[in-house]
Structure 1
Amino acid sequence: MKTLILALLMLGAAVAGHAYGAALTPGIYRMDANSYLTAVQRAEAGPNKRIEEKFEHAFPAAAGVTYAVVSREARYAEPERNRVLFLTVDGYKAERGELSCIAYALPGWNDYSTTNPFCAGEEALSDRTLASFVLRHPPRRRDLAGIHIPAERTPTQEDRVGCLLGVCDPAAYGRWIQRVEVTYRTDRFTLEKVRPYQDILFLENAVPVFASRERTNNRSELKAGTFVAVLDRQSEWFEVDYFEDGNARHGWIDRDDVVAVQWLAQRASTRDFRFRVGVVPGDRDTDAPQPVAIEVLSRHSGQRLQVLRDFESDGRYVLGDEAINVVDANFDGHPDITIHGMSGGAGPNSTTNVFLYDPVRRRFSFSRELSELTQLWIDAKTRTIHTAQRGGCCSHYSETYRYVQGKLTLVSSVDEYSDGEWVRTATAHRRKGKMYYREERRRYKGEPNAAPGQPASP
C-alpha cells in the first residue's frame, strides 16, 4: 500500500510540477542508503584527462544524518514554499570549509542569516518529485600526479617540424594524461511518513515546550539554535514536533517565548477594547521597528483577550502609539482596526492590514480580501471602499466596492493608460446586478488623472 501511495504522489508531481519543480509533500523523509552511488551527475573526462571517482554521502559521517523533515506552506501566492531540515546528531557542527547546510528553503526566497539560517535550495535540492528529492553538493576536485605515456617510435624530420609548430605527434613524443580525483557527495531522500508540517521554525533563544496549551510545570527546554516543525500556527501557540535522537516528540510553544517584542500602548481604543502593538527591531540600524503582533486588551480590566499575528508590515509608516486606527471597515456598526501593511516598493501601491470584529465571537479576524487591496480608502459617508494602483507615470487603475448582503462587491472601476499620444480610459459600472463596460480614447495632453481619492503625481 505504501508503494502505491508513493507511486501516486510521484505521478502527481509530473502533472502538478511548476517552474520551480514539484512542491515536496510535508513529512519525514529517510535517506536511501545506497543512493550516494547512483544519484550522481558524473563529470566528463575529456581528451587526455582521466577522472578518478570517489563517492560519499552528502553529509559527513559525524553528522549522523538519516532523516530529513520537510514543511510546506501555501499561505501566500504560488509557488508553494518548502523548508527542509536534515536531522543531525546533537552538537554537530559543519567542519571548517564544509558547506553542508542543515536547513534549506525552496524556492530560493530566503537569504541565510544567523537569525534565519536557511540556505537557498534550488540547486542543492534537485530531482524533486512530490515524494523524493536529491541533496547534491558540488563535486570536490583534486589534481593528482599525471601519467606519462611513452613514445611508440623515433621522431622523424616531419615530426620535429610539426612539434616546432606546436603539434607534437604523441606516437613520436609520448603524452601526458591529466589525472583528476572527483568526489561526489549525493544522497536521495524518500518520503517515509506524511506529517502536515506548515513550517520549520528556528529558535534563536532557549524556549520552553509544554505538553499542552497551558503554562504548567509539565515542560521541557529547547536550547537556542534548535529547529522545530510547526504543525499548527495559532495566535498564541505553535503546535510543534521537535526532534531528539532522530525521534519526533510533540509539544506546544508559547509564541510570546519565541520572539521578544516591545509592546507599545496605542491611543486608539473602542468602547470595549484597548490595544498594544508588539514590535521587533529592524534588520539594520537604519530600519524602522517591525510590527509583528497586536494585543487586544479589555478596556475595563486590562486583561489580554486576543493576540493578532502573522500579518505583514514593513513598519515604515507605523508611528509609535498611533500605529492602530479604528474604523468600521465593513459598515456593520462595529468598529474594526487597521495597521499599515507593505509599502509596495514605489510607495503608491501600499497595503493596509484590516482586522474585522465579529460581535458574536467577540474577536477580531484578519480580512484577506480587504488587506490585499492597494491604496485602501474607506469612505464612511458613502459606505464605499476604494482601491487604486499606479503602474508607472502613465497608468492608473481604481475600483470601488460596496457590501451587498454582507459580501464585498465591485460596483465600478476606471483603468486609464497613456502611450504618450493617446489616453485610453476603460470604465465599468454595476447596474441592477450586472457590470457594464465602456472604453474611449482621447489625445494625450498631460499625465492621466489620478485614481479616485488619490492625488495626482507631481
Structure 2
Amino acid sequence: MKKAKAKGSLAFLGNKMKSISRNALFFAIVLLFGVTLSAQDEDNQSTPASHWVKQQAMTPDYRFEIAVTNGNESEGYGSLTEWDGIKVINRHTDKATFIAGKAGGNLYVANDALLSLIDANFDGFPDLQIRAFDGGAGPNSVDYFYLYDPKTKTFKFDEQLSNFSQIGINVRTKSITSAYRDGCCHHVEETYRYFSGVLTLVENWDERLVFDSNMIETTVCKLKKRKMRCKTKTREYSE
C-alpha cells in the first residue's frame, strides 16, 4: 500500500509539474509576443518616413533636394526637423548623386531652406551650408559644410568648418568667425583665415567672470609672426 501511495503521489506531482511548466511556457510566449508587438509599435511611431524636399538654393549647374523627416512639435521651440541625406542633381543631365549625412533638431528654418550656398573657403566656387544642430540653450548652433571640388565636380564634407559653432563667414574680408558660450559667464570668439589652403586661427577673444571674485577677465590673442601673442585685462563687474 505504501508503495502504491508513493507511486500515486509521484504521478500526481509529475502531472502537476508538467501543468506548471506548460502554464509557464504559455505565459512566457504571451509576454514575448506582447513585448515584440510593443517594440514594433514604438518603432513605427518613432521613425516616420522621410521625404525629399526641393531646396530653394541652386547654382547654374546643380539643384538640390534633402531627405527630411518632421517629428512632433517640441514644446516652446517649434517643429522638430531631421534630415538624412542630400541629393545633388545636375541641371543639364538630370543625373543625381547622393551625399550621406544626418542631423537635426529645432532648426528654425523652412524645410525648403535648410540648404544655402556660400563660398566658404573663398576659392570662387559656391559651397553647401546646411543646418545641422540648434545647440539647445547654448546657443552653440552648428552647420554642416560641403566644399565643392572643381577637379572632381563633387561636394565634399569639411569636418573643420562643420565643427565650428555659431559660424560666420565674411566673404568680403575672407575671414571666418566661430563663437560659443560655456555657461552664463564664459564667452569665446575665434577668427580664422585661409593661408595656402589651410584654415588658421588668427585671433581669439576670451572673456569670463572670475569665480569667488567680482572681476571680469578678458584675454585677446592675435597671430603675429606665426605666433599667438596674448594680452589679458581685468575689470570690476558691474550690473
Q: Name the TM-score, length of structure 2 as normaliser.
A: 0.76
Q: 1:266 to 1:421 in 2, by over 3 A?
A: same
* Residue type at the aligned position of 2:227: K
- Within the candidate set 136, 141, 147, 1:345 is matched to 136
Specify every segment of 5 or more residues in structure 1 that has no aligned partner in the other structure, as ranges: 1-61, 63-93, 103-111, 118-203, 205-258, 447-458
Out of 261, 264, 267, the position equivalent to 2:53 is 264
Give deviations 1:96-151, integer Å, cap 9, x for gaps. Answer: 3459x99xxxxxxxxx964887xxxxxxxxxxxxxxxxxxxxxxxxxxxxxxxxxx
Distance 1:332 1:115 in 2: 50
CA root-mean-square deviation = 2.6
Residues 233-312 of structure 1 correspond to what in structure 2 (within 5 A)? 260-282=49-71, 284=72, 286=74, 287-304=79-96, 306-312=97-103
Partner of 1:415: 206
Residue identity matched to 1:425: T
Matches of 1:368 and 1:437 in 2, distance apart?
Answer: 27
Q: Is the 8 A contact 1:317 1:340 kept in 2?
A: no
Residue 366 of structure 1 and its aligned partner are, at CA, apart by 1.2
The amino acid of 2:30's aligned partner reads: R
Amino acid at match of 2:81: P
Percent identical: 35
Structure 2, unmatched stretches of 5+, are 1-24
Letter in structure 2 aligned against 1:443: E
The correspondence for 1:403, drawn from 175, 191, 194, is: 194
Q: 1:408 to 1:393 in 2, by over 3 A?
A: same
State how far apart, in whole Å, the 2-side matches of 1:315 and 1:301 are: 35
1:347 CA displacement = 4.5
Shift of 1:329: 0.5
Name the counterpart of 1:96: 30
CA contact (8 A) 1:311 1:353 kept: no
Quick check: 1:291–1:314 contact (8 Å CA) kept in 2? no
CA drift at 1:315? 4.9
Q: Which residue of 222, 233, 236 corresponds with 1:440?
A: 233
Q: Find the partner of 2:117 among 313, 319, 326.
A: 326
Summarize deviations over 1:216-272 as a string: whole Å, max 9, x none. xxxxxxxxxxxxxxxxxxxxxxxxxxxxxxxxxxxxxxxxxxx84311111111121
Return closer, same or farther for 1:393/1:428 CA change in 2, 3 Å cut-off: same
1:56-71 aligned within 5 A: none
Please name the residue that 1:427 is paired with: 220
Distance of 1:281 and 1:378 partners within structure 2? 29
- Please give the TM-score of this superposition, normalised by the length of structure 1: 0.41
Deviation at 1:393, TM superposition (A): 2.8
Q: 2:150 aligns with which of 348, 355, 359?
A: 359
Q: 1:360 to 1:260 in 2, by over 3 A?
A: farther
Describe the SS at the equivalent of 1:316: coil
Change (3 A) 1:285 1:400: closer
Distance in 2 (CA, whole Å) between partners of 1:442 and 1:398 is: 19
Query: AA paired with 1:350?
Result: S
Question: 1:334 offset after TM fit, Å?
Answer: 0.9
**CA deviation digits over 1:297-325, x for unaligned, max 9?**
11223321x21222322252231222111
Aligned AA for 1:355? Y
- In structure 2, relative to structure 1, the CA distance for the partners of 1:322 and 1:332 (3 Å cut) is same
Are the structure 2 counterparts of residues 266 and 418 from structure 1 closer, same or farther at C-alpha, using a change threshold of 3 Å? same
Does the aligned pair in 2 maintain the 1:401–1:409 contact within 8 Å? Answer: yes
Check 1:279–1:405 CA distance in 2 against 1; reply closer, same or farther (3 A cut): same
**Cα pair distance change 1:343/1:113, threshold 3 Å:** farther
Matched AA of 1:302: D
Superposed counterparts of 1:216-231, under 5 Å: none
Using the TM superposition, give the Cα deviation of residue 285 of structure 1 relative to its aligned residue in structure 2, in angstroms. Answer: 5.2
Number of residue pairs matched? 202
Shift of 1:422: 0.5
Cα deviation per residue 1:356-379 (whole Å; 9 max; x = unaligned)? 111111111111111111001001
